[in-house]
Chains A and B, each alone.
Chain A
Amino acid sequence: MGVNWPLEIGRAIALTVVMFTFLAVVTAMLGVLLERKIGGWIQSRLGPKHVGPQGLLQTVADTIKLLQKEHITPQAADVVIFNAAPLIVAVAGLMDWLVIPFAPGAIVRDLNIGILFFAAMASMTVIGILAGGFASNNKYALLGGLRSAAQMVSYELPLAVGLIAVAMEAGTLSTVGIVNAQIRNGWYILYQLPAFVIFMIAATAEVNRVPFDLPEAESELVAGYFSEYTGMRFALFQLGEYAEMFAMAALATTLFLGGWSGPILPPVVWFFIKMYAIVFFFMWMRWTYPRLRLDQLLNLSWKLLLPAGLLWILITGYRIAF
């Protein structure tokens, strides 16, 4: 079809390297540091202050520590699946970033099925978690993996319902199209507030954060599905989870807060301000709420969020058509 294949493959590889390096720095390093500092501030204590000025190099120190730990594989574990599971989680968490627009024209690929691609990549994480939980040959890991998979599959539906409501309002599935529609009509958090609430609750449950982190609860399941993972594989799981949390925050700013639009500052700065505002909100929820029990969590999804979401789709359809 007249496409210069070596150039396209070279561009794809270069963009992948740039995106993943940038994401590894922004999400993993800054994310972990922000979590501990914000947690400290909410709990009236100082976070890490020892390494670097005001503790800013803490994550560098953590990464060096994790890199030099020993790779332990349990004896009766299935080695291929055990090694592949953190890769699936990390790659699925990072693939979500392919459709996020940072500035007008600065998007890796403006797919016309943008938010469907996002939902599909978010649903691939479940397989990595189930595989990791099973391959560890450890009953706590298996139980944590099954619980986490049940929770994530249950909350994919309210997530998709929030996405559908926004797609109906904007008339397109492409993220760039949704940002442009918001520039014309006003931010969707005003028109679609219930969809925003449903999306935020479902996003918190999708990335296994408090109050939905029963699968990783230290007091119940040792560490859940990554009990048997050490060193760099543990870091890959954490990278996948933090990357996915930041990706959910980035998608929330794209869909509900107008993406990169804003008056005076350059668009990229506005995007990051909004994204970090939502990340701060996620972290604030983590350090404030207690953990939900498994049946309360599943009830919340199936009996409250899904019917409310479907009702909201009905109302949105009525509003758009008349």
Chain B
Amino acid sequence: MGELAAFIILSVITLASAVVVVTSGNIVRSALSLVPTFLGITGLYILLQAEFVAGIQVLIYAGAITVLILFVIMLTEGGTGLRTRQVNEQVPLGMLAAAVLALILIAVFSGTEWPKASGSLPQYTAAPIGEAFLTSAVLIFEITSLVLLVSLMGAIIIARRER
């Protein structure tokens, strides 16, 4: 019963903040509403027994990506462009597309019988994830580090001031 209450509270926090993110007219307020969204998703991960991923989600999403987005807003025209129109003229079509997709997805998800495999999750997931990254998923690990290096260099070169 408590788990259901926790799930409902976390889902309401996540979805309400996501609505503020996508519909607010003030770009800074919509960027700051990303933080409760990410924290709600962190709570959902903890309900799903994925505590290491939850910790990484707070550290990277709420702690670094939100800061990056706020920086770019403040360094471009966020401070002065707060009173311009923020949505383009596709609003009715966009709402229709999003609503139709949501209905189709929810219909498919509720109607399917998902097969349940055997086994159970380990109690503490940090060590098994580490072992998985260094034994069975080591190629993914190495390629992800390479992608990180390339994107770091790329971002620095693209955003550099021309001399």
Contact = CB atoms under 8 A, between A and B. Distances in A.
B71 A149 contact: yes
A87 B44 CA distance: 23
A80 interface: yes
Interface string A105-136: 00000011100110111011011001100100
Contact of B70 (A5, A113, A130): A130
A190 interface: no
Contact of B63 (A81, A111, A120, A150): A120
Contact of B28 (A81, A111, A117): A81
Given A124-B58, A127-B63, A130-B67, A81 B126 contact: no
A78 B29 contact: yes
B32 interface: yes
A127 B70 CA distance: 9
Nearest to B51: A113
Given A126-B67, A127-B67, A146-B74, A5 B59 contact: no
Contact of A120 (B58, B66, B71): B58
B55 interface: yes
A1 B67 contact: no
Interface residues of A, number: 29
B58 A127 contact: no
Contact of A123 (B1, B51, B64): B64
A173 interface: yes
B156 to A, nearest CB: 11
Given A112-B124, A113-B55, A153-B67, A127 B29 contact: no
Contacts of B11: none
Contact of B126 (A78, A80, A113, A119): A113
B61 to A, nearest CB: 10
Nearest to A152: B67
B55 A117 contact: yes
Contacts of B28: 78, 81, 134
A153 B32 contact: no
**Residue of A3, A81, A127, A149 with most chain B CB atoms under a 10 A cut-off:** A127
Interface string A1-35: 10101001000000000000000000000000000
Contacts of A149: 67, 70-71
B1 A127 contact: no
Contacts of B62: 120, 123-124, 127
Interface string B84-123: 0000000000000000000000000000000000000000
A100 interface: no
Interface residues of B, number: 27
Contacts of A131: 32, 70
Given A124-B63, A127-B66, A142-B79, A5 B74 contact: no
Contacts of A81: 28-29, 32
B74 A113 contact: no
Interface string B21-58: 00000101100100100000000000000011011101
B162 interface: no
Contacts of B35: 127
Contact of A116 (B3, B55, B74): B55
A156 interface: yes
B158 to A, nearest CB: 18
A126 B58 CA distance: 13
A8 B5 CA distance: 14
Given A130-B70, A134-B74, A5 B55 contact: no
Nearest to A118: B55
B51 A156 contact: no
Given A80-B29, A120-B62, A173-B126, 6 more contacts: A5-B2, A111-B51, A116-B52, A130-B70, A131-B32, A149-B67
Interface of B: 1-3, 5, 26, 28-29, 32, 35, 51-52, 54-56, 58-59, 62-64, 66-67, 70-71, 74, 79, 124, 126
Please give me the 10 A-B residue pairs with the lowest Cβ-Cβ distance, nearest first: A123-B63, A5-B2, A120-B58, A116-B55, A120-B59, A112-B124, A113-B55, A130-B70, A126-B67, A113-B51
13 contacts: A78-B26, A78-B29, A80-B29, A81-B32, A116-B56, A123-B64, A124-B63, A127-B32, A127-B63, A127-B66, A142-B74, A153-B64, A156-B64
